[in-house]
């Protein structure tokens, strides 16, 4: 697990975070009806390289792309291929970058054109759940406080909260301890400390929380075929307080109101 010991280490993670936010901006800009997911991956590759970063995902346990592109009933880990975006789709874009050995990781879900009300609500509630979780990222809070805050945001809507995939510590590796579940009792689990960095990443499903993995070994889908949304930020617990490193002010800022 990382301990951010000095300003230089923090600056490197922050730079990786800015790169990820820039990837999101460019990919969202390009994500229109008719565009292939592979094209979005190429755009991500260019931004990461142009930023002087390396992709976290490419080659990770053999993952073949720079981003995970997860449409509709895909929860996470979708491989961007030749599928084209269609009007009314929703798309999760998960990206990671490494700057001088330090990782940042973030995801967002966007509507493609006009989406149905149910999908729009799923996206908005999942985004708010991310920020409810981030509000618990303070020294002395426990991992269960994050999960409880995320889960609580889903309850009024009856969404399936995915438990099989979780948030995580991050630093010199993309996935470090502790695991950060999206549900569970408050006040339990690992105690957060200054110097850590964590990824909070709610995944909410319209229906069942159960998942299935496709034959490609990567693509994780909802077991009932209904839609799913996913948001994620990397948060560093600095001596000056928690800092969200992957915010894009246009796309993934804290919701107002
Ligand atoms: Mg992650």
Q: What pLDDT digit, counting tens, does each position of 167-213 carry?
A: 999 999 999 999 999 999 999 999 999 999 999 999 999 999 999 99
Structural tokens at position 112: 């493609």
Quick check: 242 and 137 in contact, CB under 8 A? yes
* 36 three-class SS: strand
How many angstroms separate the alpha carbon of residue 37 from the centre of ligand 1? 20
How many angstroms separate the alpha carbon of residue 115 from the centre of ligand 1? 26
Nearest CA to 243 out of 13, 26, 22 is that of 13
How many angstroms separate the alpha carbon of residue 81 from the centre of ligand 1? 21
How many angstroms separate the alpha carbon of residue 180 from the centre of ligand 1? 10
Environment class of residue 118 by beta-carbon count within 10 Å: exposed (0-12), middle (13-18) or buried (19+)? exposed
Q: How many CA atoms lie within 13 A of 166 on its CB side?
A: 20
* pLDDT, tens digit, 9 for 90 and up, residues 48-97: 999 999 999 999 999 999 999 999 999 999 999 999 999 999 999 999 99
How many angstroms separate the alpha carbon of residue 28 from the centre of ligand 1? 19
How many angstroms separate the alpha carbon of residue 231 from the centre of ligand 1? 9
Residues paired with residue 102 on neighbouring β-strands, in sequence order: 99
How many angstroms separate the alpha carbon of residue 133 from the centre of ligand 1? 14
Query: For residue 2, what pLDDT is reported?
Result: 66
How many angstroms separate the alpha carbon of residue 169 from the centre of ligand 1? 9
* Ion ligand 1, residues whose Cβ is below 5 A away: 105, 199
Quick check: 170 and 176 in contact, CB under 8 A? yes
Question: Across the chain, where does the E strand assignment appear?
Answer: 54-55, 67-71, 74-76, 90-99, 102-111, 160-161, 167-169, 176-180, 197-200, 203-205, 211-213, 220-222, 228-230, 233-238, 241-244
Positive or negative: CA dihedral 200, 46, 55, 14: negative
Structural tokens at position 192: 């957060």
How many angstroms separate the alpha carbon of residue 167 from the centre of ligand 1? 6
Quick check: 76 and 212 in contact, CB under 8 A? no
How many angstroms separate the alpha carbon of residue 69 from the centre of ligand 1? 13
Give whole-number Cα distances, 30 to 10, 33, 73, 112, 222, in Å. 31, 9, 21, 11, 26
How many angstroms separate the alpha carbon of residue 96 from the centre of ligand 1? 8
Backbone angles phi, psi at 121, to 5 degrees: -65, -40
How many angstroms separate the alpha carbon of residue 55 from the centre of ligand 1? 13
Query: For residue 1, what pLDDT is reported?
Result: 61
pTM of the model: 0.97
How many angstroms separate the alpha carbon of residue 98 from the centre of ligand 1? 13
How many angstroms separate the alpha carbon of residue 19 from the centre of ligand 1? 15
User: Cα(119)–Cα(159) distance, rounded to whole angstroms?
Assistant: 12
Q: pLDDT-based confidence at 249, cuts 50/70/90? A: confident
Task: Indicate the average pLDDT of the chain.
Answer: 96
How many angstroms separate the alpha carbon of residue 166 from the centre of ligand 1? 8
Quick check: 125 and 159 in contact, CB under 8 A? yes
């Amino acid at each position: 697990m990382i301990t951010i010991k000095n300003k230089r280490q923090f600056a490197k993670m922050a730079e990786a975070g800015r790169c990820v936010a820039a990837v999101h901006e460019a990919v969202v800009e390009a994500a229109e009806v008719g565009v292939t997911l592979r094209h979005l991956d190429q755009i991500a590759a260019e931004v990461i390289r142009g930023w002087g970063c390396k992709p976290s995902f490419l080659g990770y346990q053999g993952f073949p792309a720079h981003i995970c592109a997860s449409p509709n009933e895909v929860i996470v880990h979708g491989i961007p291929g030749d599928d084209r975006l269609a009007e009314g789709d929703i798309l999760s874009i998960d990206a990671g970058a490494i700057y001088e050995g330090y990782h940042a990781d973030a995801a967002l879900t966007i509507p493609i054109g006009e989406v149905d009300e149910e999908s729009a609500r799923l996206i908005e509630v999942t985004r708010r759940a991310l920020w409810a979780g981030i509000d618990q990222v303070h020294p002395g809070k426990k991992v269960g406080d994050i999960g409880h805050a995320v889960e609580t945001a889903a309850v009024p809507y009856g969404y399936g909260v995915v438990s099989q995939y979780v948030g995580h510590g991050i630093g010199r590796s993309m996935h470090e301890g502790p695991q950060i579940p999206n549900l569970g009792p408050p006040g339990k689990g690992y105690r957060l400390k200054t110097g850590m960095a964590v990824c909070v990443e709610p995944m909410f499903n319209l229906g069942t929380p159960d998942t299935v993995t496709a034959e490609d070994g990567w693509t994780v889908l909802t077991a009932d075929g209904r839609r799913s949304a996913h948001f994620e930020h990397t948060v560093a617990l600095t001596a000056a307080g928690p800092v969200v490193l992957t915010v894009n002010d246009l796309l993934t800022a804290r919701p107002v109101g």
